[in-house]
Every structure is written in structure tokens, then in C-alpha cells.
Amino acid sequence: MVEYFNLESLVHLEQTFYETGYEGGFAHGRIHGLIEGRALGRAKGFEMWEELGFYEGFALMWQSIYEKQARNDDRATNHTRRLLELISQFPRINPSTSDAAAEVDIPKLFRQIRSRYKILCSTLGVRPSLRYSDRSQDRDEVADTGVAESDDRPKNTGVWRVESTAPKPVNGQSFDF
């Protein structure tokens, strides 16, 4: 009788110790997750928006140049406006999976922006920046047909998910009773 009682309370104690440890670990792990996630998110956001910003600044500048020259019904003006329109649709926050904003097809929008930039360049008679045209070369091949492209890709590809970077428990210890 006494033995039985001791075993019960021991099991309960183990659980309590585990839970106390878990709580402390969770709070600490959360700090690490936030720090690591932030570093990755900063880098990714910078990378994407630096490229988009380039197209935006490029379009804005040509817009001012053409305004100054009072050329308004030009083909280039039209492309510039379209390019700026596309960029304005691009999310500046990482749309979370549950969000309605996640319905934007990010890769497609990116391809459209890149190809619109190239079209604008050729209309203006300037060479597209190598920095970006090199990077996007492989993807831009299909950009022009982007609209007609078959839509067999999974939805929500545009949502940047952080892949699990947390290391698995070193010794794979589990807590079984």
C-alpha cells in the first residue's frame, strides 16, 4: 500500500520537474527563435525589396524625366505606370498563411515585374542592369507567357515560410513513462 503510494507521487514529481524545465526552456528557446527568425527575415526582406525598389526607383526617375520633357502619351510612360502599379501590389510584409493577402501569387508577380522592367528598358533604349537581369534570367524566360502558364503549382507559394532551423534534441531523448 505504502509502496504503491510512493510510486504514484514519484511519477507525479518527475512530471513536475519535467514541466518546470520545459517552461524555462521554452522561454529561452523563444528568444532564440525570435532572434534567428528576425535575422533571416531581415535578410530576405532586404533582398527582395532591394530588387523591387530598384525597379521602382528606376521607373520613378524616368517618370520625372518624361514629365519634365512633357512627354505623356509615350509607350515608355505607359510601361512605367504599369511597372509602378505591379510593384505597389507587392506585399511589404510577409503575408501569413492565414491572411487573405496570401492570395497574391508572389513568384508570378515578381516575374511580371522583372519582365516589365526589361520591356521598359528596351523601350527607353537603355541596357537593363546586369545585377538584376542576370539574377532573373532563368525565370524571365517564362515571364512573358506567365499569364497563360498552367496553374498546377501549389497555391500560396508566395508565402515565405521559415524552414525549421531548430536542431533536433541531441540524443533524441524522449520522456516516456
Q: Where in 17-56 is the site for other proteins (CB under 8 A)?
A: 17-56
CB atoms inside a 10 Å sphere around CB 97: 8
- 156 touches 100 (CB < 8 A): no
Least distance in Å: CB of 144 to other proteins? 22
User: Any contact of residue 153 with other proteins (CB under 8 A)?
Assistant: no
Query: With respect to other proteins, which residue has the nearer C-beta, 147 or 172?
Result: 172
Judged by CB under 8 A, which stretch of 15-23, 71-79, 137-145, 147-155 contacts other proteins?
15-23
Q: Cα dist. 144→110, 112, 126, 141 in Å?
A: 12, 7, 20, 7
Least distance in Å: CB of 3 to other proteins? 16
Q: Which three cell numbers stand for residue 127?
A: 541596357
User: Any contact of residue 177 with other proteins (CB under 8 A)?
Assistant: no
163 phi, psi to nearest 5 deg: -75, 150
Judged by CB under 8 A, which stretch of 1-9, 13-21, 101-109, 139-147 contacts other proteins?
13-21
User: Any contact of residue 100 with other proteins (CB under 8 A)?
Assistant: no
User: Any contact of residue 60 with other proteins (CB under 8 A)?
Assistant: yes
b/e per residue 58-92 (b: at least 16 CB within 10 A): bbeebbeebeeeeeeeeebbebbebbbebbeebee
User: Any contact of residue 104 with other proteins (CB under 8 A)?
Assistant: no
User: Any contact of residue 92 with other proteins (CB under 8 A)?
Assistant: yes
